[in-house]
Amino acid sequence: MSDAAPPLRLEAVERRYRTEAGELPVLTGADLVLQAGEIVALVAPSGTGKSTLLHLAGLLERPDGGEVFVEGQAAGRLPDDARTAIRRSTIGFVYQFHHLLPEFTAEENVVLPQLAAGASRAAARERARALLEAFGLHGREHHRPGRLSGGEQQRVAIARALANAPRVLLADEPTGNLDVATSDRVFAELLDAVRRHGAAALVATHNPDLARRMDRIVTLREGRVVPA
């Protein structure tokens, strides 16, 4: 591991799925480097492998070939528990369907990943409140997801993804549930948080306005990452 290593690097990553019709090659040698402070949009047609790429980058799945480096460390092929440890401390996810824990309040949803990463409860709560406030959720901290609007839930999910100040943020349609004005503001805050920490982000989106606000746009062609 080295300080100069980029937060995320995919090298010749391959992934194929076994289906009834035979093997489906989804990624055939995907290369991608995210530098510190860089925010990259991933814009590609449905079914070309965006989710697969995000799952591999987030160490949720192992590649069939190639390697995923997180801060210079070869991480993609490590055993499950080692990948989980790196994921918890280094990577944040924002999903299109936010996957908040329904029985916990907004604040607890942002506190829990910090406790899992070793923070004290007091520090975790303070950070959770600051993040929720930054995303316009002051006064909603003690509501459970079921009592929040879809857009509010999405903002809680973004606050949760940033809870451990991740070096790598991975997002799948992060503002899909938000109206245009809120989406603009929330996305600006998200970009700012990523840049401020010298983190890097890969954001899959079908929204061309959102994509244009990022540093560069890539797409997937025949299982490889290419400039859009």
Ligand X SMILES: Nc1ncnc2c1ncn2[C@@H]1O[C@H](COP(=O)(O)OP(=O)(O)OP(=O)(O)O)[C@@H](O)[C@H]1O
Question: Coil, strand or helix: which one is 127?
Answer: helix
172 neighbors 188 (Cβ within 8 angstroms) = no
Contact call for residue 2 and ligand X (CB under 6 A): no
**Applying CB under 6 A, which part among 50-58, 106-114, 162-170, 183-191 lies near ligand X?**
50-58
Contact call for residue 17 and ligand X (CB under 6 A): yes
Contact call for residue 63 and ligand X (CB under 6 A): no
- Closest alpha carbon to 92 in 54, 118, 119, 130: 54
Question: Coil, strand or helix: which one is 49?
Answer: coil
For residues 64 and 62, give the distance between their C-alpha atoms in angstroms, rounded to a whole number: 7
**Applying CB under 6 A, which part among 4-12, 41-49, 69-77, 156-164 lies near ligand X?**
41-49
How near is the Cβ of 53 to ligand X at its closest, in Å?
A: 7
How near is the Cβ of 89 to ligand X at its closest, in Å?
A: 25
Q: Out of 1, 19, 79, 146, point to the residue binding ligand X (CB under 6 A).
A: 19
- Closest alpha carbon to 68 in 30, 18, 28, 23: 30
Contact call for residue 46 and ligand X (CB under 6 A): yes
Q: Out of 9, 50, 127, 140, point to the residue binding ligand X (CB under 6 A).
A: 50
Q: What is the dihedral of CA 14, 17, 23, 28, to 10 degrees?
A: -20
42 neighbors 50 (Cβ within 8 angstroms) = yes
Contact call for residue 24 and ligand X (CB under 6 A): yes
Contact call for residue 51 and ligand X (CB under 6 A): yes
Q: How far is CA 149 from CA 145, 146, 153, in A?
A: 8, 8, 6
Q: Out of 8, 10, 13, 26, point to the residue binding ligand X (CB under 6 A).
A: 26
Question: Coil, strand or helix: which one is 192?
Answer: helix
- 41 vs 110 by CB, closer to ligand X: 41
How many alpha carbons fall within 13 Å on the CB side of residue 23? 7
Give the x/- contact pattern for ligand X in 132-171, rule: CB under 6 A. Answer: ----------------------------------------
How near is the Cβ of 174 to ligand X at its closest, in Å?
A: 14
- 51 vs 73 by CB, closer to ligand X: 51
Token couple for 161: 């993804």
Q: Out of 23, 31, 47, 212, point to the residue binding ligand X (CB under 6 A).
A: 47
For residues 178 and 91, give the distance between their C-alpha atoms in angstroms, rounded to a whole number: 23
Residues engaged in binding ligand X (CB under 6 A): 17, 19, 24, 26, 44, 46-52
